[in-house]
């Protein structure tokens, strides 16, 4: 990924477990202070091959590129100058083929009342705006819980972080 200046953006990748989020929280604080960059989180999946099998028969005609049933969670700090309406934007790309706020609520992963649902789309995913005053840990915990609940593949418990450094 390139920044607007045309320079390549550094990307840091590492594995972590939700029970030990210290490294991730440090990066979120850094990105938040810099007001630039973003972080993606992908759940570790147990790939025995069946969850990622290519569609066959008539359905193979309508399928696009191979898309595994894995969620991707994204965390983006506010950009620009600090202001009273600053929000962190979080999102979950998923393969549920339906709106997921009700699905998550049924699973006990309720969107907090101070967070705004900016998008809950069948194909484009879930996007939330979270007040900057909410600490990083509850936001990260909610995001990982939602990502795990929406993932269609069997999970290992680990997560892969991909931190895109500030420009």
Which residues, other chains included, contact 122 with Cβ-Cβ below 8 Å and sequence gap of 6+? 96, 97, 98, 99
pLDDT digits (tens, 9 = 90+) for 13-55: 999 999 999 999 999 999 999 999 999 999 999 876 444 444 4
Q: What is the pLDDT of residue 110?
A: 97
Q: What is the pLDDT of residue 7?
A: 67
Average pLDDT of span 96-110: 95
Check pLDDT > 60 for residue 150. yes
**C-alpha pair distances (Å), 129 with each of 19, 89, 97, 111, 156:** 24, 5, 22, 10, 29
What's CA 63's distance to the chain center, in Å?
24
Please tell me the distance from the alpha carbon of residue 103 to that of residue 109, in angstroms, as a whole number: 9
pTM over 0.95: no
Q: What is the pLDDT of residue 63?
A: 40
């Amino acid at each position: 990924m390139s920044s607007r200046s045309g320079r390549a953006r550094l990307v840091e990748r590492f594995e972590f477990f939700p029970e030990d989020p210290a490294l991730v929280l440090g990066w979120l604080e850094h990105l938040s202070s810099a007001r630039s960059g973003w972080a993606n989180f992908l759940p570790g999946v147990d790939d025995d091959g069946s969850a990622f099998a290519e569609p066959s028969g008539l359905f193979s005609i309508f399928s696009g590129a191979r898309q595994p049933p894995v969620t991707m969670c994204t965390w983006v700090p506010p950009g620009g100058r600090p202001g009273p309406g600053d929000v962190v934007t979080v999102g979950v790309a998923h393969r549920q083929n339906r709106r997921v706020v009700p699905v998550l609520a049924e699973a006990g992963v309720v969107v907090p009342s101070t967070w705004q649902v900016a998008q809950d789309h069948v194909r484009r995913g879930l996007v939330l705006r979270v007040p900057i005053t909410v600490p990083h840990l509850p936001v990260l915990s909610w995001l990982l819980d939602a990502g795990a609940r929406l993932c269609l593949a069997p999970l290992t418990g680990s997560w892969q972080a991909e931190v895109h450094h500030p420009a």
